[in-house]
Chains A and B, each alone.
Chain A
Amino acid sequence: MSTLSRDEVARVAGLARIDLTPAELDRLAGELDVIVESVARVSEIATPDVPATSHPLPLTNVFRPDVLVEPVDRALVLASAPEHVDGKFAVPQILGEDA
């Protein structure tokens, strides 16, 4: 059973845009390792005849009809925007990728 390395924690933190100090990285690598190992123990118990579960409820096909609801008033929508211009959310410049 391989353990979760400090580098892997740093990488996942980077992907999640979480800024961690070296001390936090050290601590979290250890804590997360415990969780990962615990889960790994569960998968040892789960045999092929136990289907994977992505949801705790025995439900499928919960659909809604294709019927309109009243949209939220735009003034209210934009009230939560730190800034807005011409009815649109204004966000800091985006680098690297065209929309």
Chain B
Amino acid sequence: MSTLVDYDDAVARYDTVIGIEVHVELGTVTKMFDGAPAGFGEEPNTSVTPVSLGLPGSLPVVNGKAVEYAIRIGLALNCSIAETCRFARKNYFYPDVPKNFQTSQYDEPIAYEGWVDVELDDGSIFRVEIERAHMEEDAGKNTHIGGSDGRIHGAEYSLVDYNRAGIPLVEIVTKPITGAGARAPEVARAYVQTLRDLFRALEVSEARMERGNVRADVNVSIRPTPQSPLGTRTETKNVNSFRSVERAVRYEVSRQAGVLDDGIAIVQETRHWHEDTGTTAAGRVKSDAEDYRYFPEPDLVPIAPDRAWVEEIRASLPELPAARRRRLQGEWGYADAEMRDVVNAGAVELIETTIAAGASPAAARKWWMGELARTAKQQEVELAELPVTPTQIGQLQKLVDDGRINDKLARQVLEGVLAGEGDPETVLVARGLEVVSDDAPLLEAIDAALAAQPDIAEKIRSGNLGPVGAIIGAVMKATRGQADAGRVRELLLERIQG
């Protein structure tokens, strides 16, 4: 086996071309071709009808909502919507498809020839050309039982749950993505992320990666120069997180460079992604077995989306994520780099809701990109997963704005909120963190501090204000940080001058 080539070395000598297929499960109530529930997490084989099970005599009928969602996706990806299109049977034998074929679209997809602009980490825009977006149905779920390592070889038997069989999918296929060079892994990741954001904005799917609502197959090939003909590609299946998409492309580039350096030809094959090791492993070699013998589905009539309907859907498209980001950045007055950090941290919605809860844009950003970002990083979770809501951050900031706590106390209150002690107000009361606004205890602490440091007191009295910080510090310490330092200074000066 060839050795991996260091990534930087590989991209210095080879040009990378990628192609990505993304499957998204549509958030319809029912399945693509029958009225069975299209939900998630039900007991096995309880969301099925004769159609989902492919029972003889059962006939499919297209879910109109799924067609509408597919058109929404197509339009948002700047695709043309087919005047007429049809379904086809993709024939293969595997127990997750009870009919022995998957109903898909083959030569006539509902949407074709589009593009989407993808924003990279440095803010630059990379345009990805879309080949097609077509409708199909999901397969059931197999679980392999037995065998030494629980993986499929050596499995004694497999268990099949058909709840997922028939859930509507849209598959989006890019044209070969060239010109990304060394940034191909980043482009791949940003593209999948862009689609995920788009699906959510369009409200066509919950688009939760961890539930497999969005799944990516990543094609990678390399060639000596951008002018060379395309190299042989491999297809890494079911790469299901943004990070994995990036890692899978990177790994394949390093691996293929090693193979080519050894003078060996790349085998066109399906590869499997191993999350734990960050590597891909050879799967099936593309061969005759992949002759799916597509033919038009005789049980379904063609779909010819009425132009007026298409225009109605186009007019109803919501503001898309990129435009929304630009608008929010203007409203919030963030610099480009600040906005980019916010977007990359997945904090746009969090900050938007925090601002809606009353915080200023600057304060909202300070909390989410400062204290909370640090906490999330420490705990290795996403910002949105922290046990604090944007509304609570809004409440916390209001306590600061009202002068009831200072920044330092606010951080302690936040600590309490994160520890599950309740809303900011509750934590503040329970922990007794309110700023001391009554002058009497402050004066008491000032007198004590002056008495404890007579030499400093003397200097101040003689008009040298240099060391007032020492006294203020002592007062802050004595009040456990709950004093307003500005007020302490005022009182101290009055005390000395009076």
A interface vs B, CB < 8 Å? 11-12, 14-17, 54-55, 57, 59-69, 71-72, 74, 77-78, 80, 85-99
CA distance A91 to B141 in the complex (A): 12
Tell me whether chain A's interface is mostly helix, strand or loop, or mixed: loop
- Given A54-B296, A55-B296, A87-B43, 8 more A-B residue pairs with CB atoms under 8 Å apart are A15-B91, A62-B301, A69-B35, A71-B46, A78-B45, A89-B159, A93-B158, A96-B284
B142 touches A99 (CB 8 A): yes
Can you name 13 A-B residue pairings with CB atoms under 8 Å? A15-B293, A54-B302, A66-B66, A67-B30, A67-B35, A74-B43, A88-B143, A88-B159, A89-B159, A91-B95, A93-B146, A94-B158, A99-B141
A59 touches B301 (CB 8 A): yes
Q: Which residue of B lies closest to A63 (CB)?
A: B64
A92 touches B157 (CB 8 A): yes
Query: Known contacts A59-B301, A64-B63: does B272 contact A98 (CB below 8 Å)?
Result: yes
Interface residue B34 (Cβ < 8 Å from any Cβ of A): yes
A94 touches B94 (CB 8 A): yes
Query: Known contacts A55-B301, A68-B35: does B93 contact A17 (CB below 8 Å)?
Result: yes
B interface vs A, CB < 8 Å? 28-30, 34-37, 43-50, 53, 55, 61-67, 84, 86, 91, 93-96, 139, 141-147, 151-162, 237-238, 272, 283-284, 288-289, 291, 293, 296, 298, 300-306
B161 touches A88 (CB 8 A): yes
Contacts of B293 in A (CB 8 A): 12, 15
B301 touches A60 (CB 8 A): yes
A71 touches B36 (CB 8 A): yes
CB distance from A8 to the nearest CB of B (A): 11
Partner of A89, one of B35, B45, B151, B237: B45
B61 touches A62 (CB 8 A): yes
Contacts of B64 in A (CB 8 A): 63-66
A71 touches B288 (CB 8 A): no
